[in-house]
Structures are given as C-alpha cells and as structure tokens.
Chain A
Amino acid sequence: MRKANRLLVGTLLMGMVVSCQKDDQEGYESVNPLTERTTAGGETTVYLTSSNSFSTPAANLSASQIADHFDADLEFGAVFVSAPAEVNGGVGPVFNNTSCISCHPKDGRSAFPSNINSLSGFFLRASLPGTDALGGPVAVPGFGKQLQNQAIYGYEPEVQFSVEFTNQVETLADGTEVILKKPSYNVVDTYIPFPSEANLSPRLAPPVFGLGLLEVIPEYYILQYEDVNDADGDGISGKANYVYNHVTESMTLGRFGWKANTASIIEQCAGAYLEDMGITTPLFPQETGHDQSNGNDGFGDDPEVSYDVLEQVAFYCKTLGVPAARNLDQEHIQNGARIFEELQCASCHVPKMISEEADINVLANQEFYPYTDMLLHDMGPGLADNRSDFLADGQEWKTRPLWGIGLTQVVNGHTHFLHDGRAKNVTEAILWHGGEAEAAKNGFKNLSASERQDLLDFVNSL
C-alpha cells in the first residue's frame, strides 16, 4: 500500500529548538535581516531537513485540524482502480496516473520520466489556436485540453507522448560550459487523427506544500507588483492572469498552475482528479472523455468522488507546512542573498508575501517567504510553449515559488526544475531564463565562480 506520510511531531517540537549559533556575524550586511526569513511559511513553518520536509502538517494547526489533515492524507494517497470495484473505483477510462501522491511523491516534485509514457507526473496540455467563450484555451475536439496517455484495460489512450532533445551550450564568463537539453514534444499513436495546428505544452507536477498561504495573499498585495507595461522601465513587467473560476463562476485572479490559469486550490484539485486520474467530482461531474469513443465507461457512477473528499484533499494541500530555510546566518549565504537582489532575481522572485483574512484560521495574518510575485512574466523564446492560457501568452509563465527548492534532492531524489523538468539543477534552471529575465541571467553568467556558488548556496538554503 502506498504510504501516506503523516509524520506528527518532529515538526512541532523542532520548532522550539533554539539555535546555538553565536551572534557574532560580521562582514556582509544582512538582508532585512536575512535570518528573519528562516520561517519561510510564517507560523506554518516546519523544521525538517529529511525526506519528510514537504509532507508534514503546518506547525500551527490545532489538534482537530491535524486530525482532519491526516484523514485527508488518506485521500491524497488513495490509489484508484477501474470501476466497478469494492474500493476506490473509477479511474479513467483515460488518465495520466492513479493517485495524487504518485505525481506529487512525498508531496513534492516529480522527476522527468526516463520513459515518457510510463506512469509519471508528466503530461502534455493541448489546445487549438484562439480563445474559447470564457477567454481560455480552445479544447482540441476528441482530446480536450489535457492529453491522457494511459487508459484502463480495454480502452485506448488518447495519445502516446514523444520527446527529442537538442543540445544548447551556455558559456559562463569563467569559461564553464553548461549544456542545456531543449526538449521538443510530439504525440504519436493517437486514437483518432490529431490536428496538426494544435499547440502542445508540457507539465511536470510541482510540490503541493504552502499552497494555502499562496491562496490567501490579498489580491491588492499581489497587484502592487504588477507593471504590465513596464512603467518603471526596469525591463520587468509582471502581469496578473484573470481566469474563469468554476467555483464562483466568474473571472478571478489566477494563482495556481504554471501559467496561473487556476484561481483556487479546490479547482486545481478537482481538475487533477478529472484530467490526471479520470475521477469525476461534483465540481467537474463529466468524465474528461465523455464525448469520446474511448472516454466513457458507461457506469453512470458520476461523480465518483464526493464534494467532501474533494474538500478534504484541498484542505490537505492547504495545511501542509512549509519547510524552514536553513543557514541564513552564514556569511556566504548572506552574500548569495545580496547577489540575488543585485541581479534583480528578487524583482520577480519577491521574497516576502503576507496574508490577512483566511478561512483556515492558522493561515491568517502571516508573513512568509515564498519568493514569488504570483505574476506572469515573459520568459523568452527558449522556454516558450507558444500556447496562451487566458491572459498568459505563449512566452509567459508564472514566477515559481522557491521555498523548499534546496530540499528537492533529499525529498525526491532529483533536481529537475521548471515546468517540464528540463533543467537538471538550479544552474540550468537559471540559464533557461530569458525574456524579462535575460539581464538577470547574463548577470549570473558573469559572476565569478565563488559568487556563483554563494548565489546557488543561497537558493539551496531555501
């Protein structure tokens, strides 16, 4: 059985441990001071450096909230099988994977799969050019907006994925060469002909901790960083996405997904149930392939998961703790933080966010350090998917949070970053930046080896 990760107490107690570090730092000026940012998730912060760093409940939950969190953890770990079944029936008919945890292992980040058609946290989105009636992407007839490369027995997957890589060499100022592998995706073995004009966009599943805090950042606080036309002339814009919200049935600020195309966590969860696993919920009660020859199981058992369970899974994601930053009192890390600001990394990866009101009381009135402005930025042609999603154009992506990034190796056993895991470490991830981040990237390339190391050490301290 897939183990739910439900570590209880390490977090609560370690939080009380007082650092014994001598307070005699000298040299570089601390940022803010930097050590204040140790509590990356405010009072939700957990103090772990193990493989459980992403999968531990927020430190400030009440006893009853922790009980609810653990009940919900069972749902996050539930493996679905084909219907009819005694337990957890309803996966598919077409799907990408069979449980939440299988794409978010240890509540963390999927690796880029060695076999792109194995069960993994990878899939392709698809759409036809243009926008639909709601302003979003246009579904590809017979395929929808997400391509499923798995199917239950007796059904045909929509497609199989294929990928080819071409090498791109980046040379740093000190002569170091870094080879970036640029992927090019396609679909093969489609169950019906796939339209050649459709756009494809790859996705790899990100960690799910800290989402509750990101959901309750006040909208005005995010919008203060917006600069759509770059009025301040710093070369960096920042644009909010406004997307159709299926809960409120109106256009609202997009906060989640690689292009900020989803307004709320519950909608993200319902979307994942439907499109990733083929599990219907009251929010999305029709199978993703209900109008396709390979997409309807004919059992009339929808919704396959209740609204209670859907809310539980959303609650689970909202109430995972954020791992504390580490070693922020060290001089080289503080120097790295200074370089991070000088190179304007922090202009988009804005360190501090706040919350005010929140339905879940422990998320209210927090100061936390996700290192994202929650806005869209043009990242240049190298990263472009050329597929628009509401206001996000084909070169724009939402700034990813950096919290927890340095624990990816210990939690997930890899360091595959960006929307499709093409970057194999932090250096490659930086070098993939372009567009508005071109200047920052070039600044990074021009650093001395030791400055570069300090910057990387800082990023990995988060």
Chain B
Amino acid sequence: MSNSIKSILMLAFISTVFVSCSDSNEDSNNDDAINEALYQEVLTNLSVSVITETYNSMNNNAIALKEAVANLTIGDETALQTVKEAWQATRKPWENSEGFLYGPVDTEGIDPAIDSWPVDVNAINGILNSGDPITESLLESNNEARGFHTIEYFVWGIEGDKAASELTERELEYLVAATENLQSKTAQLYNGWIATGGNFANNFVNAGESGSIYTSQKGALQEIVEGLSIIADEVGNGKIEEPLNGNNGGAKPEAEESRFSNNSKLDFSNNMRSILNVYVGDYNGINGKGISEIVATVDSSLDQEIQGAITTAIYAIDAIPGTFTEAIYDNRDAVGLAQEKVLELQSLLDSQLLPLIGNL
C-alpha cells in the first residue's frame, strides 16, 4: 500500500493549481449566471435523479429480498436461488451508492446497521441457539449480527456452498427478521433524501441558499467529488489491498468483504459504477447532467481522461479470472492490475478533478 499512496501523493504535491481572479465586468457576470445555472442543474440531477433514485432502487430490491425470504422453505433450492439473486440485486444499488456516503447514510447510522463487517458469528450462533424469538427489534441492538453480511452468511454459508436442504427453521426465522430489518433501513435511507421525507437532496438543489448545509454551490460540488475520491481509495487501498496483501504482502482471504457470496468483483465494479453514475449524471435510463458537464466547460480532454479511467478500472476488475478469493492466490497479477487501475483513477480525481472543482 505504501508505495501506491506515495506515488499518488507526490503527484498531488507537484500539481500546479491555477487561481483565477476574475474582475466584475459584464462578461464575467454573464458567465457567472450561466455557471450558476449549470451547477444547479448538475446538483439537482445528481441529488434527485442519481442519488435518491439509487436509494429508491435499493429499497425496492430490499422489498423483493424480504418477499423472497418469506417464500423460502427448507429444501427449496429454487427459492434459495431466488433469495441469492434478490440479495445481489439489493447489493448492487448499495455498492452503487458508496460514492456518496454523506447525509443520512452516515448521520443516521445506517451504514453500520446494514453493512457492518465482519459479522459476529458467535453472536449469530448465540441468537440461533437461544430459545428467544428472533425479531427485527432483537437485531436492532447488534450491528454485527444483521445487515447484508449476516444475510449473506445464512444464504451462502461460510464456504459459499450452502444448500436449501441445510437451512434450519431458526435460520429461516433469523433471515425473515434480518431482511425485514435491512428493508426498514433502506426505507429510512430513501426517505431521508426525498422531498416528502428528510429532503437531504434539498441541500444540493438549493446549495448556497438558506436552509442548505452547503454555503455555496461549489461547496456542494466539492462534497460530491470528494465522495468519488473516497470510494476509489476505499476500493484500491482497502477492499482490494487488504485481501491481496494484508498478510505481510501475501493473501489474506478472511479480509475479503463479500467472500461468502463470491460477490466481491461485482462489489468493486459496482463501486466504480457509482463513480461513473455521479460523474456522468446518469442513472437507470435517465441521462442527466453530471460532474462531467462542468469539467468539460473547463478542460474537455480531462473530462475524456476521467471517463476513460473509470471505464478502464471497471474493465480491469471484470477481467480478474474466477472468484476474487481464488484470484488473490492464483491470479495476483490480474488483481494487482485492477488495483493499479483503480488507484490511477483515484490519483486522477485527486490531482485534477478536486482542484478543478475547488477552483470554480
């Protein structure tokens, strides 16, 4: 990890920052008005149509997961497969949301409630082996025994090969409670952003106005691009680095987050798509304005470069052969290359995008 970070930082230190102090003449006033309109369009699209809609997808898919679990019975392999697919379908928008981990997901403690890792196997077994009814409220006090990874643990098993015939009544009871609890959190998160709920999106739509926590549009845009850098760093220096090199430079499989389900490669590429969605302003068929449109007004070649770097990182992750668990042993070069591409993206965001937005 050290070397990669050093190189990134050195880039940062030597980057030149251009400062422009424009005078107040008519031209720049016009420019300011045009920019302000563009920024508001971008901020509105990203907060309402990308971020809030990502949470909407997650909540809808969590409802489907809950329903799939309600239909699961011991020995029904088809129903278990449906549950697995529903888990992955819910996981995808969550990973797509990790480029914007600000707002209710953080301030309302939703991230640890739904995505705490590692799972507490002793706590889970204790609850299973007790005679107590397993309810949503029982799980409410234990982050490490609920959420995505607890559900994953029951559905796939520690070895990733669980069959429906191996399920127990108590596990089904636990799964019902855990998926209900997960969906209550996804609903809370979606509600935190919509206009008829907590309306966190308003902070972006009306950035710089009273009632927004951001004192300027630039400040709101900075929050957004910082979020992109943070998830690129997290994937490159955390989610890939720890399993790849966490054992004194060797593989550390127990540090892999979505190991039971073998979903890690999808986790990583969906995190990259989170960056892409925000950068280009598109989600779920809606093509709106994103950070890209702002960058293009200043430096169109940089805009192309950033889009290319995001795509390259996704390709490199997708190109890792087999499962991630196998690859950290058998295809370390391919994993290393994917990590390199993610870190190159992060470096580009840090050295070029963040300063560009900071100097708007």
**Which A residues contact B (CB, under 8 angstroms)?**
1-10, 12-14, 16-18, 20, 48-52, 63-64, 66-67, 70-71, 74, 79, 81-88, 91, 98-99, 102, 105-106, 111, 117-119, 150, 152-154, 326, 409-410, 412-414
Residues of chain A lying within 8 A (CB to CB) of residue B10: 63
In-complex Cβ contact of B107 among A74, A111, A154 (8 A)? A111
Q: Does B214 contact A (CB under 8 A)?
A: yes
Q: Is the CB of B107 within 8 A of A8?
A: no
Chain B proximity of A46: nearest CB distance (Å): 11
- In the A-B complex, the 10 residue pairs with the smallest Cβ-Cβ separation, listed nearest first, are A413-B107, A153-B126, A9-B350, A81-B120, A20-B21, A50-B223, A9-B12, A86-B254, A1-B117, A51-B102
Q: Is the CB of B123 within 8 A of A7?
A: no
Given contacts A71-B1, A409-B213, contact A105 B107 (CB under 8 A): yes
Chain A proximity of B233: nearest CB distance (Å): 5
In residues 308-360 of chain B, which contact A (Cβ within 8 Å)?
Answer: 346, 350-351, 354-355, 358-359
Instruction: State in angstroms the CA–CA spacing of A74 and B346 once bound together.
Output: 18
Instruction: State in angstroms the CA–CA spacing of A52 and B213 once bound together.
Output: 13
In-complex Cβ contact of B112 among A66, A67, A71, A102 (8 A)? A102
Q: Does B34 contact A (CB under 8 A)?
A: no
In-complex Cβ contact of B354 among A10, A84, A86, A414 (8 A)? A10
Residues of chain A lying within 8 A (CB to CB) of residue B22: 20
In-complex Cβ contact of A152 among B9, B122, B346, B354 (8 A)? B122
Q: How many A-B residue pairs have CB under 8 A?
A: 184
Q: Chain B interface residue count: which class? A: 35 or more
Interface of B is mostly: helix
Q: Is the CB of A98 within 8 A of B354?
A: no
Chain B proximity of A68: nearest CB distance (Å): 8
Instruction: State in angstroms the CA–CA spacing of A154 and B103 once bound together.
Output: 35
Q: Is the CB of B144 within 8 A of A13?
A: no
Among B77-85, B171-179, B234-242, B281-289, the stretch that binds chain A is: B234-242
Q: Is the CB of A153 within 8 A of B141?
A: no
Q: Is the CB of B358 within 8 A of A87?
A: no
Q: Which of A1, A2, A13, A66 has the most CB of B within 10 A?
A: A1
CB nearest neighbor in A for B108:
A413
Residues of chain B lying within 8 A (CB to CB) of residue A111: 107
Q: Is the CB of B255 within 8 A of A3?
A: no
Residues of chain A lying within 8 A (CB to CB) of residue B355: 9-10, 13-14
Residues of chain B lying within 8 A (CB to CB) of residue A414: 107
Given contacts A3-B98, A64-B2, A410-B214, contact A9 B122 (CB under 8 A): no
Instruction: State in angstroms the CA–CA spacing of A106 and B346 once bound together.
Output: 20
Q: Is the CB of A3 within 8 A of B13?
A: no
Chain A proximity of B242: nearest CB distance (Å): 8
In-complex Cβ contact of B126 among A2, A150, A154 (8 A)? A154
11 sample A-B contacts, Cβ–Cβ < 8 Å, listed by A number: A7-B230, A9-B9, A9-B350, A10-B226, A49-B214, A49-B215, A50-B226, A66-B5, A67-B5, A86-B254, A150-B141
Residues of chain B lying within 8 A (CB to CB) of residue A50: 102, 219, 222-223, 226
Residues of chain B lying within 8 A (CB to CB) of residue A152: 120, 122-123
Q: Is the CB of A10 within 8 A of B238?
A: no
In-complex Cβ contact of B257 among A1, A7, A63, A413 (8 A)? A1
